[in-house]
Amino acid sequence: MGELFARGVPALKYLFVTHQETPHCGGLGRVLENFPDALLCGDVSDYHLAFPQYEHRMRWMHEGDEIDLGGRSLMAVEPVIRDLRTTWWAFETRERVLFPGDGFAYSHYHEDGHCGLVAEEATSLDLPDVSSTFADLALFWTKFADMNAYCDRLDLLIERLGVRTIAPTHGLPITDVKATVPKVQAGLKAAALMPESGTNEKIPATGAGAARTAA
């Protein structure tokens, strides 16, 4: 980050948090220390407990609230696919980019040269399969919900906002929304049909495999 700002990029003014998960917000204290004028925005529940010295720089955002970025804004929008209670999604209003945090989480393959590509360029990527795997492991609640209703809600959000690009936290940027989003939705629906094992490790429940595990 230091190298980036050394090139003359303006100092950081805002931090928008998608959700309170350590990989996504664990470095907040260091960032706020290094950029003393930056504000923390979003659902800031409990952050004052971890960083009480920065409580005066925390700003609550609710659905529809916007951060003025000069010629564009960043809007807090409905997090249709939540991974935590405090989840918020963001929408950039000029280029119409949706930032869904972990809501569109899927993996890609380094060996196939996917890094640096958009989703539509990664032709060997089976989006329904990798989306269902991620949802099975990280979004356990999808097994107890009607994901058809959530996917319908997602379609309404995309249509209402006029989303042109989707930039997920985990996964490649989606530039053809109409073609690619249904593949991600197919993965979410498939994961909902997977049996709940109570663990991320899929081990045999009977037979020789179970005996070895017990031993």
Q: What is the pLDDT of residues 165-188, one digit of tens each?
A: 999 988 889 999 999 999 999 988
Average pLDDT over residues 50-63: 95
The closest of 33, 31, 30 to 15, measured between CA atoms, is: 31
pLDDT recorded at residue 199: 52
pLDDT recorded at residue 208: 44
Segment 38-55, tens digit of pLDDT: 999 999 998 999 999 999
Please state the domain extents for the chain. 1-60, 70-195
* Structure token pair of residue 187: 């993965």
With contact defined as beta carbons under 8 Å apart, do 58 and 39 qualify? Answer: yes
Judge if pTM exceeds 0.85. no
Segment 70-113, tens digit of pLDDT: 999 999 999 999 888 889 999 999 999 999 988 887 777 777 77
The closest of 88, 188, 184, 195 to 135, measured between CA atoms, is: 188
CA distance 119 to 108: 9
Spacing of C-alpha 97 from chain mean position: 13
Q: 70-195: what CATH class? A: alpha beta
